[in-house]
Structure formats: C-alpha cells, structure tokens
C-alpha cells in the first residue's frame, strides 16, 4: 500500500484505505476501483491524496497510530470548540456564551483523553505526515497535529496524567487567538508586510487574554497560547522571555508547533521536507528550542513514514518501505522508477547503508502539494 496524489492515480486502481467525509461517514470503501468520475468527485471535496494498493507497493504495511475516525472526530471537536470559545467575547448573552464554552472545554478534554489512550499504548513512530486531510482549515488541522505531537512528547517526558492533559488542552487551544486575525491576512498569498506580521503576532496575547477569563481553563493552559512563540534565547514574542521563564509546557509546544508548521503547505510558502524541518529544529537547539525536547521529538516521529513516495537526487523514485529509527531522514526504499522516470522491476535499497550515503531525498510526493 502507498499514499499518492489523485493526479497520479490511474483509472482502475484500488483504494487501500476507506475515505471518510468530515462527519466520519465512508465516502468510498477500501477496495473500490477508482474511475474518472470518482476521482473528479474527490477533488471537488478537496481530497487530493489517497492510499492505493498496487503491485509496486505490495507488502508495505501502513500503521496509523491515530485511527482515521478519531482524527475526524477530533478535527470536528476542535473546529466547533474554537468557534465557540472565540464567540464568547461577541456573545450578546454572556450566560449562554459561558455555557457553550464550558461544553467546548469538556469536549476538548474528552477527545484528548481518547488521543492519549491511543498514544499511551503506541509502540511505533508517529505518522502524521502521510495522513489524508479531513479539513480545509489550516488552523484546525494544525491544532490537532500539534496536540498529538505534544501528547507523545509529554508521554516521553514521563509526565503525570494531569500535566499531560493540561498541555494537551493547551496545544489544542494555542492558536485560538488567530480566530481574531483577518482571514485575508492569514490566507494571504505571498509575504506579509511588516504591519501585517505585527498584527498576526498579536494572536498570542489575544488568545491568552481570552483563555484566562474562562474558569474551566487552568492558567498554565492559557500560557500555552501566550508563550508558544517564545524562544529560550529571548528572541521570541510577545514578551521576549528567556530560559526557565518560559513554562515547560510551552517548551515542548514550540517544538511541535514549528515542525508541523514548516512541513505543511501554506498559501504564502511551500512546505519543506520533513528531514529539513528536523534540521531546522536542531539548528535552534539550545538557543531557540530546548535540546532535550528536540531529541525526544526526533525519537517519536516518523519523518518519512512507510507508504510515502519519494524522489532521490539521482532521479530515481521509490516508496518508503521501512522506517530507520537510527537514521530518520534515510529510510529503506523500494525503487519503482529509474533516473529517466521509466518503471523498473522493484528492488530495495537502504539509504542509511554506507554505499548509499551520497543519496538524498529531494522530493516527497503528497507532502509538498
């Protein structure tokens, strides 16, 4: 099985996984043969990547740490919850607004407990990079991804359940302040002006100001919204905090936030390859980011998960067949095309082996679209 874009799907290829809509209902079941009308229909629903079964990827096992049904439910909870919380200030009926907000917080807590339950029994690397999208909005999907990364990091840190649940809630709510930023600015194509960037930066204070008013939310959770752009060398915002003045929740949140942000496509810039995202974190180790958290993060994510199609610097194309924990940017591949783009009899190579050290992944299908 492998993940591919609909643009590259041939008519007749069979789905390797069922496709769900945003309500969790199956749109197309596993094993369905794709036709031109079905492919066109999926594109109109903003579904551009699918898992397929073919001879080239036979035997490649895909392990979803977070079940698709749970991802869909979580995105919907985050969508409804952030909208409810953001509407608290504008609610004409304050009692009604507080009731809706309290209900939203309880929904956040429940869905995060479900995520924690799954991850606490997880023995494989997190595979979020090769997930099919279930929601158009970057803020909602990003909030979910960050909360999953943060949950796994908190588990790796050995934190008590109370702290894990608090930082998880903080991760889900860390970008709530962006609900007050103009969509025209958030979704702007091209670079922001200096004035626009300063406006976007206000989301940290705006989110904190809102969350600290909600009595169901512990203050450390509100500080996740305030401090997730702080850096340990003092060059972050909004307050330029340094070192231990930054809450330990925010130190793991910043690592997860940056990695997910740079490895996902945005309207104003293209995504970077996962191993480059990890290199970016390491470049800021000890200055911008907590070194321990980067090491823990490196050990719990699948930078190039099985089933992902990649292209090498010598022109060959392959499917990731096995993840290398000791060389996260250098997985084992099943080569399916030669340097001229011609299909070949599949064969395996290990990018971490000595003879393949000059090879490098330069493209990852579905990640940079």
Residue 369: predicted pLDDT? 47
- Other Cβ atoms within 10 Å of 5 Cβ, number: 13
pLDDT at 81 over 70: yes
174-219 pLDDT, tens per residue?
Answer: 999 999 999 899 888 888 999 999 999 999 999 999 999 898 899 9
Per-residue confidence band for 302, with pLDDT thresholds at 50, 70 and 90: confident
Mean pLDDT across 338-363:
93
Burial 46-60, CB ≥16 within 10 A → b, else e: ebebbbbbbebbeeb
DSSP 155-171: HHTT--HHHHHHHHHHH
Residue 12 predicted with pLDDT over 90:
yes
- In this structure, are residues 80 and 107 in contact, taking their beta carbons and an 8 Å threshold? yes
Percent of the chain scoring above 70 in pLDDT = 93
User: In terms of pLDDT, which residue wins out, 94 or 295?
Assistant: 295
Q: Is the pLDDT of residue 137 over 90?
A: no
Looking at residue 90, its pLDDT comes to 57
Among 21-25, 330-334, 337-341, which is the least confidently predicted range? 21-25
Which one-letter DSSP state was computed for residue 24? S
Q: pLDDT digits over 144-153, tens only? A: 999 999 999 9
247-280: pLDDT as tens digits: 999 999 999 999 999 988 777 777 888 889 999 9
Residue 14's contacts (CB-CB under 8 Å, 6 or more residues apart) are 31, 32, 33, 34, 52, 53, 54
pLDDT digits (tens, 9 = 90+) for 49-77: 889 999 999 999 888 888 888 998 999 99
**pLDDT at residue 136, as a whole number:** 54
What are the start-end ranges of the H helices in the chain?
36-44, 68-86, 94-120, 138-156, 161-173, 183-186, 194-201, 203-211, 219-227, 248-262, 274-283, 291-300
Of 303 and 176, the one with more pLDDT: 176
What is the spatial distance between Cα 5 and Cα 48, in angstroms, rounded to a whole number?
6
Which of 42-51, 118-127, 134-143 is the least confident region? Answer: 134-143
Of 299 and 99, the one with more pLDDT:
299
pLDDT over 70 at 96, yes or no: no
Enumerate residues 6+ apart whose C-beta is below 8 A from 323. Answer: 125, 302, 304, 305, 306, 331, 332
Q: Does 230 score more than 90 pLDDT?
A: yes
In contact, 196 and 181? CB cutoff 8 Å: no
Q: How much is the mean pLDDT over the chain?
A: 89
In terms of phi and psi (left: phi > 0; alpha: psi -120 to 50; beta: otherwise), the region of 229 is alpha
Q: The tokens of 48 are what?
A: 């551009």
Residue 131: is its pLDDT beyond 70?
A: no
- Would you tell me the crossing angle of helices 219-227 and 161-173 to the nearest 10 degrees? 50
Q: Which two tokens stand for residue 177?
A: 């302040």
| pLDDT tops 90 at residue 365 | no
Q: What is the pLDDT of residue 128?
A: 79
> Which is nearest to 132 in space by CA: 60, 71, 57, 55?
71
Q: Is the pLDDT of residue 283 over 90?
A: yes
Q: What is the pLDDT of residue 132?
A: 57
Q: Which of the 8 DSSP states describes residue 193?
A: P
């Amino acid at each position: 099985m492998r993940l591919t874009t609909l643009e590259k799907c041939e008519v007749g290829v069979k789905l390797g996984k069922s496709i769900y809509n945003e309500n969790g209902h199956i749109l197309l079941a596993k094993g369905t043969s794709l036709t031109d009308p079905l492919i066109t229909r999926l594109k109109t629903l903003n579904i551009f990547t699918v898992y397929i079964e073919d001879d080239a990827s036979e035997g490649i096992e895909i392990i979803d740490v977070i079940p698709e049904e749970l991802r869909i439910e979580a995105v919907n909870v985050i969508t409804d919850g952030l909208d409810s919380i953001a509407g608290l200030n504008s609610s004409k009926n304050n009692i009604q607004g507080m009731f809706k907000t309290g209900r939203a917080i309880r929904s956040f807590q429940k869905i995060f407990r479900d995520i924690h339950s799954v991850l606490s029994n997880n023995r494989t690397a997190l595979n979020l990079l090769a997930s099919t999208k279930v929601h158009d909005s970057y803020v909602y999907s990003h909030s979910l991804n960050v909360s999953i990364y943060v949950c796994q990091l908190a588990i790796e840190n050995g934190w008590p359940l109370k702290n894990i649940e608090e930082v998880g809630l903080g991760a889900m709510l860390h970008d709530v302040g962006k609900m007050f930023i103009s969509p025209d600015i958030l979704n702007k194509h091209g670079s922001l002006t200096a004035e626009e960037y300063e406006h976007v930066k206000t989301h940290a204070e705006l989110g904190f100001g809102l969350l600290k008013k909600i009595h169901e939310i512990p203050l450390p959770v509100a500080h996740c919204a305030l401090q997730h752009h702080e850096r340990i060398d003092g060059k972050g915002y909004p307050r330029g905090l340094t070192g231990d003045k930054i809450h330990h929740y925010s130190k793991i949140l910043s690592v997860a936030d940056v990695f997910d942000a740079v490895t996902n496509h945005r309207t104003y810039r293209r995504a970077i390859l996962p191993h480059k995202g990890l290199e970016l974190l390491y470049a800021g180790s000890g200055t911008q980011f907590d070194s321990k958290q980067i090491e823990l993060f490196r050990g719990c994510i699948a930078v190039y998960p099985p089933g992902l199609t990649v292209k090498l610097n010598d022109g060959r194309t392959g499917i990731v067949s096995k993840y290398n924990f000791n060389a996260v940017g250098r997985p084992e591949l099943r080569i399916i095309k030669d340097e001229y783009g011609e299909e070949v009899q599949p064969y395996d190579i290990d990018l971490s082996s000595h003879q393949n050290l000059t090879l490098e992944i330069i493209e990852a299908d579905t990640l940079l679209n």
